[in-house]
Structure 1
Amino acid sequence: MQRVLIIFTILFCFSLTSKAQNPEFENLKNIDSWLESNIKDRNLSGATVLIADKSKLIYSITVGKSNLESQRELQPNDYFKIASLSKVITTVAVMKLYEDGYFDLDDPIEKYMPIFKNTKVINRQDDSDSFTFENANTKITIRHLLNQTAGFAYDGPIISKLYKEKGLSFFNPSHESLSSFMNDLSSMPIIHQPGKKFTYGPSTDILGYLIETVTNQNLEAYLNNSIFIPLNMTGTGFDAHRKDMNRLVRSYSKQENNLKAINNELDLTKGFKTKVFMGGSGLISTSSDYMKFCQMLLNYGVYKNTRIISRKSIEMMTSNQIGDIDYPQGFHPILGKGNKFGFGLNVITKKGKVNEFYSQGSYYWEGAYSTTFIIDPKEGFAALMMTQLGGRQSLKVRKDFRKTVYKTLK
C-alpha cells in the first residue's frame, strides 16, 4: 500500500487561548493504523481523513486505491460522490435565503411551489398493501422540510411502488430538469401527517427546488455563487468530476470477504452533464473542499474572514428542531440513541452522548457512500472522512471512524 499523503502536525496557539480554539490530540497515528487495517481487511478500498480546527489543518492522510480494478492510487484531490452530505450544503443555502428575507421558515411550501398545494397523505390501516388517501391536517412548511418531518419518504411498502409506477428515481433521475422532476414528485403522497414524525426522504431535494423558484436561477448556479466560490470550493459541484473523470473514486460494497464494485447509475463514470440538480444527494466534492465547508460550520458561519451565514443560523441548524418527536423512527439504528435532529444534521444531546464518546452539542452527518464528518465545538475540531463504501458494512465503518478520532484526544 502506498501512502499518497500524510501530514501529521500538532498545532498549539497562544497560551491564553481556550481549549475550544486549541484542540489537543495525541497518537493521531492510531488513525493511520485504523485505516490501514480496514484496507488490509478489504473493508475499504481507500480513504482520505482530515482533521482541522477553525483555521488550520491539523492532520491529513490519504491511503489506498481510488479504483481496485485499475489499481490507481487514491489522490488527495480526487472526486467523491458525497451523496447525503449534499443535504448540509443545501440546508446552508436555504438558511442564507431565510436570512435575506426570501421567506419565513413557517411559510407553507405551496406559497412558493404551488404544485404541492394538494399533497395527499397515505392512510394505511394495517400491514396490508391496501390504503386510501386523506387530506393533510396542516400545511407542509419550509421548517418541516428542513427538519425532515414533512412526511416525504425515500421508500416504503406503498410509496416505493407509487414511485416506480411514476418513473421517479432520486438518484440520477431521467427528467429534463429539477422542475419537471418536482412536477412528478408533487403528484405523490406523503406517508404521514406533516410535523408528526421524523421521516428521512427527499425533503432537501424539494428545498433545492425552493431555492430555484425564489432566486430565479438553477440550484447549481446559486450554490456556486453563494457557497462554493466564496469558500474557494473549486472541486465541488454536480459535474465537478467531469474536469477529470479519472479522479472520480469508484464505489464498492463489502460482500463476504471482499469488495465488489457498485455498478449502477451512481458511479457517474458515463453519461451526460447533469440536468436535474438534486440538493439532497447529487453533489461531487473533494476532501479539501468539504473540509473548508466544515471549518465554516465550526466557526459559526465564517471561513477565513468570509461569512457565509450568521452564527444564529448555525445555532438553529445544530439544535433540536424536532422537539419530542422520536428520532430516528427506524431510519438509522446508529444515529439515534437519544440524539435529535436539527436542520440537516444529527445533533448530540445530553441523553445521547452517554452512548458514545461525543461531546454534548457536537453534530455530524454522512452520505450513503460513507463520506462523513463530525464537528465538536466543545473540543474545537472538525473531522472528515472521504471514502466510497456502500451497503450495511458502511454503517460500522463510519461509526468506527468517529470513535477512532475521539480516542486520540488528550
Structure 2
Amino acid sequence: MTGLLDILQPCVEGGSPPGAVALVDRGDGSEPEVVAVGSADAAGDVPMVRDSIFRIASLTKPVTAAATMMLVEDGRFALDDAVAAWLPEIAEPMVVRTPSSPVDDVVPAARPVTVADLLTFRAGWGFPTDFSLPAVAPLFGELRQGPPQPRAVAAPDEWMATLARIPMLHQPGEAWLYNACSDILGVLIARVAGCSLPEFLAERIFEPLGMADTGFAVPAGQLGRFTHCYRAGADGGLDLVDAPDGQWSSMPAFPSGAGGLVSTADDWFAFARMLLDGGGPLLSADSVRRMNTDHLTAAQRDGASLFLEGQGWGFGGSVDVTPTDPWNVPGRYGWIGGTGTAAHIVPSTGLTTILLTQLELAGPSPLPEPMRAVWAYGARGPRTTRT
C-alpha cells in the first residue's frame, strides 16, 4: 500500500525539492499522518523535521480572509461596506478603458470598492491571465507584487499611495484578479483594528490556536528550523532564493496579507481544524461557510483559468465546484503557495491535506505532481501503488 513516505521520498531523492513535510488528517479522530523527508537545504546538511519552518507564501491568504471575517463579526464593518472610510487612497479609483488600454487611458470606477470585492478578488487590481497587459506592469514594478520579497516592499501608507496611482484592470465586481486584494485587506485590517497586521493576527488567531511558529519573521533562536528557499536553475540545478538569515529574519516594513507568513505543518493544521470545527473558537459557522463557498460566476471562473483551473473562489482560497479532473473533490477549500506549499480541507468529510516544500513553483499552472498526489492520497485513502 502506498503511504505519504512512498509519495514523497522519490520526489526528494533527486534533490528537487530537497525536502518536504506533509500532513494528512481524515477527520476520524485518529492522529494525523505526518512525514518529513529530505533536507532543509540543498547541501543536505540540515535534516527536514516535522516542525521545520517554511515560507508559506499564498497560504497566508486564507488567514487574512479569516481575520477580515473576525472584524465583520466584531461589527467593525460589513461585507457590503465601501472601504474608502479606512482606505481613502482608493476612494475614487480609475480604471483602464479596456484591459489592454495604456495606463493613462482611464475612466472613473463605476462604484466604490467594498470589503466583499476584496475578499472575492474582484476589486479591480491584481493579476489576470495575460501578464502582458499594460496595467499589470506597475503591479510588479511599483507594488512589488509577485514572489514574496519582504525587504523590497514599502510600508503600508506608502504602498497604498502607490496603489492609488495604478489604474484598475476591471471595474469593481467585474472580474477575478489574483493576489493584490489580500495585500489591500492586510492594510484594511490594521487600520480598522488600530494595530499592525502582525499584532492583530498574533493576538486574535495565532495565540488562541497555539500557532507558535507562525508570523511574518522567524526569531533568531528558531532560525535553525527555518528552511532555505530555492527555484529551479537554468542548468537543471537549484538557485538559492533566500537563506534562513535572509528576508524573513526580521520584521518587514510591509507585512503582506497575500504571502508574507512563515509557518509549520502543525500550525497550519491548527488553523484548518478551526475551519473544520465551524470556526470555533474564532469565527461563527456562517463566516466559515462564506469563506468556503464559491462566489464567482461561470464567466469569472473561466477568465481565471490560468490560476483556478476550473475551480471557484471563496474568501482567501479556491473552492472545488465540480470534479473537472480526477484530483478534484467538490467542496474542497484551500490554496497553494508560490514557494512550493499547498493546504486544503474538505468540510463535508473533515479531511485536511498539507504539503510544504522549499522549491518555488515555475508558474500558476500546471501544479507539481507531488501536490496532486498528496491531495489524492488524502481524498482516496491509502491506495495500491500504480503499475
Normalised by the size of structure 2, how large is the TM-score?
0.88
Amino acid at match of 1:359: V
The answer to whether the 8 Å contact 1:53/1:295 transfers is no
Alignment of 1:140-179 (within 5 A): 140-154=113-127, 156-163=132-139, 166=142, 168-169=144-145, 171-172=149-150, 174=152, 177-179=155-157
Amino acid at match of 2:256: M
The answer to whether the 8 Å contact 1:316/1:342 transfers is yes
Alignment of 1:289-328 (within 5 A): 289-302=267-280, 307-327=281-301
Which runs of no fewer than 5 residues in structure 1 stay unpaired? 1-26
Q: Give CA-to-partner distance per residue, 1:383-405, whole Å, 9 cap, x none.
A: 11111121338822322331233
The answer to whether the 8 Å contact 1:47/1:74 transfers is yes
Identify the match of residue 229 of structure 1 among 194, 207, 224.
Answer: 207
Task: Identify if the C-alpha distance between structure 1 residues 145 and 301 changes in structure 2 by more than 3 Å, giving closer, same or farther.
Answer: same
Q: What is the rounded CA distance, in whole Å, between the counterparts of 2:344 and 2:186 in structure 1?
A: 24
Q: Give CA-to-partner distance per residue, 1:203-237, whole Å, 9 cap, x none.
A: 01111111111111010000001000000111010
Matching residue of 2:47 = 73
Alignment of 1:380-391 (within 5 A): 380-391=350-361
Q: List structure 1 runs of 4+ shifted beyond 6 angstroms.
A: none
Task: Identify if the C-alpha distance between structure 1 residues 189 and 269 changes in structure 2 by more than 3 Å, giving closer, same or farther.
Answer: closer
2:28 counterpart of 1:52? no
2:373 counterpart of 1:373? no
Q: What is the rounded CA distance, in whole Å, between the counterparts of 2:317 and 2:140 in structure 1?
A: 29
Q: What is the rounded CA distance, in whole Å, between the counterparts of 1:280 and 1:69 in structure 2?
A: 30
1:336 Cα deviation from its structure 2 partner = 2.3
Q: Give CA-to-partner distance per residue, 1:175-202, whole Å, 9 cap, x none.
A: 5522222222222111111111111131
Matching residue of 1:395 = 367
The CA RMSD over aligned residues, in Å, is: 2.6
Q: Give CA-to-partner distance per residue, 1:37-69, whole Å, 9 cap, x none.
A: 111244321111112245653211101010013
Alignment of 1:327-338 (within 5 A): 327=301, 329-330=303-304, 332=306, 335-337=308-310
2:319 counterpart of 1:347? yes
The answer to whether the 8 Å contact 2:211/2:267 transfers is yes
**Structure label with greater radius of gyration:** 1
The answer to whether the 8 Å contact 1:123/1:131 transfers is no
The answer to whether the 8 Å contact 1:287/1:386 transfers is yes
State how many pairs are aligned: 374
1:156 Cα deviation from its structure 2 partner = 4.5
The answer to whether the 8 Å contact 2:99/2:170 transfers is no
Q: Give CA-to-partner distance per residue, 1:319-361, whole Å, 9 cap, x none.
A: 121234421524535x322x31111111112xx2142344321
Q: What is the rounded CA distance, in whole Å, between the counterparts of 2:239 and 2:50 in structure 1?
A: 21
Q: What is the rounded CA distance, in whole Å, between the counterparts of 1:156 and 1:104 in structure 2?
A: 35
Matching residue of 1:86 = 60
Alignment of 1:8-157 (within 5 A): 27=1, 29-54=2-27, 57-69=31-43, 71-124=45-98, 132-154=105-127, 156-157=132-133
Task: Identify if the C-alpha distance between structure 1 residues 160 and 242 changes in structure 2 by more than 3 Å, giving closer, same or farther.
Answer: farther
Matching residue of 2:190 = 212
Task: Identify if the C-alpha distance between structure 1 residues 33 and 216 changes in structure 2 by more than 3 Å, giving closer, same or farther.
Answer: same
Task: Identify if the C-alpha distance between structure 1 residues 328 and 251 changes in structure 2 by more than 3 Å, giving closer, same or farther.
Answer: farther
Q: What is the rounded CA distance, in whole Å, between the counterparts of 2:221 and 2:76 in structure 1?
A: 34
Task: Identify if the C-alpha distance between structure 1 residues 311 and 104 changes in structure 2 by more than 3 Å, giving closer, same or farther.
Answer: same
Q: Secondary structure at the match of 2:190?
A: helix
Bigger mean CA offset, 63-72 vs 281-290 = 63-72
Matching residue of 2:224 = 246
The answer to whether the 8 Å contact 1:124/1:130 transfers is no
Identify the match of residue 287 of structure 1 among 225, 244, 265.
Answer: 265
Overall identity of the aligned pairs, in %: 24
Which runs of no fewer than 5 residues in structure 2 stay unpaired? none
1:245 Cα deviation from its structure 2 partner = 2.0
Q: Give CA-to-partner distance per residue, 1:75-109, whole Å, 9 cap, x none.
A: 21111001000111010000011011110111111
1:151 Cα deviation from its structure 2 partner = 1.3
Task: Identify if the C-alpha distance between structure 1 residues 324 and 388 changes in structure 2 by more than 3 Å, giving closer, same or farther.
Answer: same
The answer to whether the 8 Å contact 1:109/1:141 transfers is yes
